[in-house]
Amino acid sequence: MKPCLHLSDISRLMKIMNHFVEQGNTLVVIEHHLEIIRPADWIIDRGPEGESAGGEVIYAGPSAGLRNCSASLTAQYI
């Protein structure tokens, strides 16, 4: 799933995704909106930048651990 939504749709999407998780499902979501990234149980961050300067996995783990990844640009905003 790759949601590209207006900010007003994020809360609705989060409600739907939470319902799936509560039912025991695993979701894989590719997203740039921090409101969707923050509550994730597990984050895979690719970088260090986009396109030709990126593509390497620089972090994979629980969302709380991303804050300690100095190579992650995403970590600065979480």
pLDDT at 16 over 90: yes
Tell me which residue range forms the domain holding 19. Answer: 7-76
Q: Which tokens belong to 54?
A: 């990126």
- Please indicate, yes or no, if residue 54 is contained in any of the structural domains: yes
Going by C-alpha positions, the residue among 2, 50, 63 that lies closest to residue 29 is 2
- Please indicate, yes or no, if residue 2 is contained in any of the structural domains: no
Supply the pLDDT for residue 2.
Answer: 54
pTM of the model: 0.79
Number of structural domains (the chain) is: 1
pLDDT in tens, 20-71: 999 999 999 988 888 899 999 999 999 888 778 878 999 999 999 999 999 9
Supply the pLDDT for residue 32.
Answer: 85
- Please indicate, yes or no, if residue 1 is contained in any of the structural domains: no
Supply the pLDDT for residue 67.
Answer: 93
User: Checking phi first, is residue 24 left (phi over 0); if not, alpha (psi -120 to 50) or beta?
Assistant: left
